[in-house]
Amino acid sequence: MPRYKNLEPTAAFWSWRDGAACIGHEDLFYSLEEESKGARRKKEDQAKAICAGCPVFDTCRTFALETKELYGVWGGLTEADRHRIAGRHRTG
């Protein structure tokens, strides 16, 4: 049973992110629609490198998969990675 089934966006709910390695690097974890694929991939690779040493890596990845997070790099997974795992096809 997913742990994040009944989401309540409170400070306590998000407290697991307080020690995340991505804090201060948020610009690498989300891409703008107008960014080229090359620029997007470069940012995603940099984000994944930060994720690799993150103390909340597993929690972040689980959260993204269980909540079907659509955007950004979470737990070392890109949007495309999560779509592939879920059996969906990315359309944009």
For residue range 31-89, what is the model confidence (pLDDT) as tens digits? 988 999 999 999 999 999 999 999 999 999 999 998 899 899 999 999 999 999 988 65
Q: What is the DSSP letter of 63?
A: H
Annotated binding-site members: 22, 51, 54, 60
pLDDT exceeds cutoff 80 at 27: yes
In the chain, the amino acid numbered 92 is G
Annotated binding-site members for [4Fe-4S] cluster: 22, 51, 54, 60
In the chain, the amino acid numbered 63 is F
Residues 83 and 69: beta-carbon distance below 8 Å: no
